[in-house]
Structure 1
């Protein structure tokens, strides 16, 4: 073990922030997030909210896939369940936004438990196919149930906090970012508990985990439930942010996006979900700039969507081959270098 990264106690090893420097940088980040909406224009506020929503959903998928080892391609469907639940509650009952988000997450969680039942018998590619099948079923229900508005979808009134309508990017920022921060804090603390360690044991060797007394079905369903809850809350935030929900809002491609995010960012780390979701959200914006600089004119934007899919595929393959631990591992190397500098070991 490297001396510079050794821990002298179990408490130190389990601490969220292992140094005063790290705690200082976290405080700086919090202050920057508070100041950001006062200096950013609407476009950057839009991107910040979108990044935060994607981080919340990617964190949920990372709990399931990165920490528990269960592959899912149904994250977008669970986001849709949360979004439609929030839309119906807000449109018909006008209940408080925070309560709607919690209910949306709970309904998505129940859907996740149903989808997770086959996980005791199948895993890997077969489980992924099962989640794809579930996403098609959910999409069919979205498009054909009367309560969901059919193919036309539902419009969502703006969220209200203390009577203030969150109808601008500046205002909705104060809902999306704090909720995402709380979800990240909850996920980080989860893996300091017995439940989180059980998830990791199942990922590393499920048969050995069962021999050690970990009930596989219970913890696999719990992982699906937590992942789906995160997706449902993220979907509710998505509904409040875009103010309209349709069956086409949550396609299979979105699930692939989140899987790509945790692969690129680094599976099995909270930082990986943050870096991966941020990076993958900004890639299309970067592509728009690159395509805009070309000589193809205004029609060039039509090429962004297919190019984006190709880039996502290339990034997944590239990181799997050259850096399986993702951006989080690259960040750890940089941090370790400066932590140990000027020594090499």
Structure 2
């Protein structure tokens, strides 16, 4: 529903992502604000926001795979690990430029996603979720296996040099660089720039013929197949695209940590990624931002404030209160599934419709 006085008079305006000057102004203002945050934010918040931007890139891939195409994946962090290890191996073992490794990381994760997406033609729902769970175990086992440790570094992992443009790296320090991304502010800006580009592509995938096919498969696979859609082909394409995003997120993660090891890509991370989709809203690109931001703020609040307070109040269980963060996040996801199954984004849409139709008694369902 459009605001009062806004009409669609031509096809270009009908398919436009932003239809009013106000929307363009708010978007530009938001982007400018994101890039000036390093001027006043402390290092702690820059680190948290950088992590959040990287997670959003990964969850945007899950949005394409699960939110649009309906293929449930709970092994997404493992595909992120593939992208991270691709850049670590190519830079440390073969001396590649980390910038040249960006498309390689994305393609590596995408190809691995294709391999583990093969069962999707025969498996659906819970059974497909178990298949992606197996993918997580297989990938992480390969990274930890002693037989591959000469390449992957085993449990210890692999180090990386700081990311930079121009200059050289000597003893782990960047010298003479035009831009040194080892600083928190520069790395944050890079992560935000990649996040914006990823969001642009994810939004436009949703609006293409491929995106409409994904939605058709998600809503009614049998009807889509009867309509002549090659179900297997498009499911595999969804796995490939979703894992491309994960590979890019892995590339960013590797350079934010300057070391990769298997323990950085836990199964719980994959579950939280799905939870972000649930909280933000299935099938909504904007919902990814809402869900990721909500869970991250909840994590910070629990970790920095609530659990220390609980530890002081209940010293007998002080060593166990750290699990309260995961318990609360899990409870919040369940509550959203019960009370607001369409997520924060669609709650906002309902409020917008209610406001635009006021004072008429109407509440979108």
1:111 maps to 112
Residues 163-201 of structure 1: per-residue CA shift (max 9 Å, x gap): 433112112112111011101001111112111111011
TM-score (ref. length: structure 2): 0.88
- In 1, distance between residues paired with 2:359 and 2:96? 57
Residues 1:209 and 2:224 are matched in the alignment:
yes
Matched, 1:276 2:291: yes
**Structure 2 CA distance for partners of 1:128 and 1:241, relative to 1, 3 Å:** same
Moved more, 308-317 or 251-260: 308-317
Q: TM-score under structure 1 normalisation?
A: 0.93
Deviation for aligned residue 1:12: 3.5
In 2 relative to 1, CA 219–39 (structure 1 residues): closer, same or farther, beyond 3 Å?
same
Distance 2:361 2:29 in 1: 29
Going from structure 1 to structure 2, the CA distance change for 1:295 and 1:114 (only over 3 Å counts) comes to closer
Aligned partners of 1:96 and 1:161 also within 8 Å: no
Q: Give, in whole Å, the separation in 2 of the partners of 1:319 and 1:111.
A: 32
Per the TM alignment, residue 97 of structure 1 is displaced from its structure 2 partner at its CA by: 3.1
What is the deviation of 1:139?
A: 0.7
Q: Once the two structures are superposed, what CA deviation does each residue of 1:91-113 show, in whole Å capped at 9, x if it has no partner? A: 23443333222211110000000
The C-alpha deviation readout for 1:104-154, integer Å capped at 9, x for no partner, is: 111000000011111011110000000111110101100011211011111
Question: Between Structure 1 and Structure 2, which shows a larger proportion of helix residues?
Answer: 1
- How far did 1:334 drift? 3.4
Partner in structure 2 of residue 90 of structure 1: 91
1:54 is matched with which residue? 55
The correspondence for 2:328, drawn from 311, 320, 325, is 311
**Residue of structure 1 equivalent to 2:155:** 151
- Report the CA distance between 1:10 and its aligned residue: 5.0
Can you give the 5+ residue segments of structure 2 that lack an aligned partner in the other structure?
167-176
Map of 1:112-127 to 2, 5 A cutoff?
112-127=113-128
In the alignment, the residues of structure 1 paired with residue 68 and residue 7 of structure 2 have an alpha-carbon distance, to the nearest angstrom, of 22
Counterpart secondary structure, 2:131: helix
Q: Which residue of 1 aligns with 2:308?
A: 292
Compute the displacement of 1:242 (Å).
Answer: 1.3
Check the 8 A contact 1:7/1:13 in 2, yes or no: no
> What value does the CA root-mean-square deviation take over the aligned residues?
2.2
C-alpha spacing 1:70/1:23, structure 2 compared with 1 (3 Å)? same
Residues paired across the two proteins, number: 345
What is the CA distance between 1:217 and its match in structure 2? 0.8
Structural mapping, 1:208-287, within 5 Å: 208-287=223-302
Aligned partners of 2:5, 2:339: CA distance in 1, in Å? 24
User: Is residue 345 of structure 2 the alignment partner of residue 333 of structure 1?
Assistant: no
Q: Distance in 1 between matches of 2:65 and 2:293?
A: 19
Which protein shows a greater Rg? 2
CA distance in 2, matches of 1:122, 1:86: 32
CA distance in 2, matches of 1:169, 1:327: 30
Secondary structure at the counterpart of residue 80 of structure 1? helix
Unaligned stretches of 5+ in structure 1?
none
